[in-house]
Amino acid sequence: MKRLQARYTFAGLKSLLILGWRGIAHCAFTVAILSIGAGVALAESQGATQKPLVRIYLNWLPQSQFAGYIMASEKGFFASRGLDVRLIWALPGESSLQILERGDVEFAAARLDSALFNRAEGSTVVQVMQLYQRCALMLITRKDVQKLEQLNGQVVQTWTWDSRKILEILFKMYKVQPSQILPQSASLAPFISGLVGGAMASEFNEYLQLMNHGLRKDDFNTFAFADYGLGILGDGLYTRQDFARQNEQLVRSVREAIREGWYYAFSHGHETAEVIKNIAESKRHRTNIQHQFAMLQTVHSLITNNGEVPLENMGVLREEDFIFARDVLTRAGYAVEDLTLKSFVVGP
Partner 1 sequence: MSHKRMSLQHKTMFIVALPLTIMVCMGLYFGLLAASKARVESLTIEMEERTARQAAELDLFFSNVSRNADNLAQTLTALSPLPVPSVFTLAREVVSVTGISSCAVAYTVDPNTGMALHDMVRTRRIEGRIAPALISRTRLLDYINTDWFLMPQLAGKGMWTDPFYVDDLHTEIVCYGSPIFQEGKFLGVAAVSVELDSIRTVLNSINTVGSQLVLVSQYGTIVSHPDAEYALRYTLTGLANEHGGKDLQQFANDMRNLRSFGMTRLEDGILGDKEYIAYAAVGNADWVLLSIVPEATVMRPLQCSFTLWVLSSILGALCLFAAIYLSGKRKVVVPLQRLTVGTNRLARGEFRFRVAETSDTVELWQLEKAFNSMAAQLESSLLKEIEAGKAKSYAEEASRAKSDFLARMSHEIRTPMNAVMGFAHIALSRDPDTEQRNFLLKIQSAGKNMLSIINDILDFSKIEAGMLELERVTFSLKDLVADLYSIFEHSAKSHHLDFRVEVDSSLPDYLVGDPLRITQVFMNLCNNAFKFTDQGHIIVRFSLHHREGSRLMIRGSVEDTGMGISQDAQAKLFTKFTQADTSTTRRFGGTGLGLAICRLLAELMGGSIALTSREGEGSEFVVYFTCDEGRAQDLPLSTTAIASDVMDLPVECRLEARVLVAEDNEINQEIIASMLESLNIPYDIANDGAEAVRMVEASFLTDHSYALVLMDMQMPIMDGIGATRYLREHGYTLPIIAMTANALPADRDNCLREGMNGHIPKPVEPMLLRAALGYWIESTCVRPDSQ
Asked if 258 is part of the footprint of partner 1 (rule: CB under 8 A), the reply reads: no
Under rule CB under 8 A, residue 284 binds partner 1 = yes
Residue 200 sits at the vertex; the CA angle it makes with 227 and 173, to the nearest 5 degrees, is 45
**Inter-residue contact 235 to 56 (CB < 8 Å):** no
Please say which residue, 82 or 194, places its beta carbon nearer to partner 1. 194
Whole-angstrom distance, CA of residue 221 vs CA of residue 218: 7
Say if CB 201 and CB 222 are below 8 A apart.
yes
- x-or-dash pattern for partner 1, window 29-68, by CB under 8 A? ----------------------------------------
Beta bridge partners of 85: 54
Among 2, 3, 175, 286, binds partner 1 (CB under 8 A): 286
Site string for partner 1, 88-107 (x = CB under 8 A): ----xx--------------
282 binds partner 1 (CB under 8 A): no
Task: Give the three-class secondary structure for 220.
Answer: strand
* Residues in 156-215 that interact with partner 1 by CB under 8 A: 182-185, 187-190, 192-193, 195-196, 211-214
How many chain residues are in contact with partner 1, going by CB under 8 A? 40
218 part of the interface to partner 1, by CB under 8 A: no
Among 18, 47, 48, 348, interactor with partner 1 by CB under 8 A:
18
Instruction: Choose between 249 and 282: whose C-beta lies nearer to partner 1.
Output: 282
Give me the least distance between CB of 120 and partner 1, in Å please.
Answer: 22
Q: Which is nearer to partner 1, 92 or 229 (CB)?
A: 92
DSSP for 145-194 reads --SGGGGTT-EEEE-SHHHHHHHHHHHHHTT---SEEEE--S--HHHHTT
Least separation in angstroms between CB 234 and partner 1: 22
Q: Minimal distance in Å, beta carbon 294 to partner 1?
A: 9
Contacts of 57 (CB under 8 A, 6+ apart): 88, 90, 96, 99, 100, 104, 105, 107, 108, 109
Beta bridge partners of 201: 138
Q: Does residue 269 belong to the site contacting partner 1 (CB under 8 A)?
A: no
Distance CA 321, CA 336 (A): 14
Considering only residues 22, 147, 270, 331, which one is a binding residue for partner 1 as defined by CB under 8 A? Answer: 22
Site string for partner 1, 110-149 (x = CB under 8 A): ----------------------------------------
Phi-psi region of 118 (alpha: psi -120 to 50; beta: other; left: phi over 0): alpha
Q: Which is nearer to partner 1, 131 or 192 (CB)?
A: 192
Tell the smallest beta-carbon distance from residue 166 to partner 1 (Å).
18
CA–CA–CA angle 157, 195, 138 (5° rounding): 40
Range list of β-strands (E), the chain? 53-58, 84-89, 107-111, 125-130, 137-142, 155-158, 180-183, 198-202, 220-224, 235-240
Distance CA 282, CA 62 (A): 10
Residue ranges binding partner 1 (CB under 8 A):
15-26, 28, 92-93, 155, 182-185, 187-190, 192-193, 195-196, 211-214, 216, 284-288, 290-291
